């Protein structure tokens, strides 16, 4: 799944276009490297979003759609 779509489905970022813009601006990192919106995310990837207060999380599941309650099960937050 593309990282911009995951960020929207997981509700970490409200809109997919905003997620894509954050990636293009170098604010989203996977494994310590800045990624583009088309980056293919895998289960177990450690992602860091540097918008406002940085947030680090590990991808647990890649669902194409998720309800509000299911969205929080897609990742596990690991702030340092």
Per-residue confidence at 80, pLDDT binned at 50, 70, 90? Answer: low
Q: How many CB atoms lie within 10 A of CB 23?
A: 24
Nearest to 57 by CA among 22, 34, 29: 29
pTM: 0.92
Nearest to 39 by CA among 77, 14, 4, 74: 4
Per-residue confidence at 23, pLDDT binned at 50, 70, 90? Answer: very high
Please write the tens of the pLDDT for every residue from 26-53: 999 999 999 999 999 999 999 999 998 9
Task: List strands edge to edge, sheet with 28-30.
Answer: 33-34, 28-30, 46-49, 55-59, 75-77
Tokens at residue 51, please? 């918008």
Q: What is the pLDDT of residue 49?
A: 96
């Amino acid at each position: 799944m593309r990282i911009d779509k995951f960020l929207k489905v997981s509700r970490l970022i409200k809109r997919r276009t905003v997620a894509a813009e954050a990636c293009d601006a170098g604010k989203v990192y996977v494994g310590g490297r800045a990624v583009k919106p088309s980056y293919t995310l895998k289960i177990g990837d450690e992602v860091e979003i540097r918008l406002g207060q940085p947030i680090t999380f590990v991808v647990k599941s890649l669902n194409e759609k998720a309800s509000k309650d299911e969205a929080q099960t897609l990742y596990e937050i690991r702030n340092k």
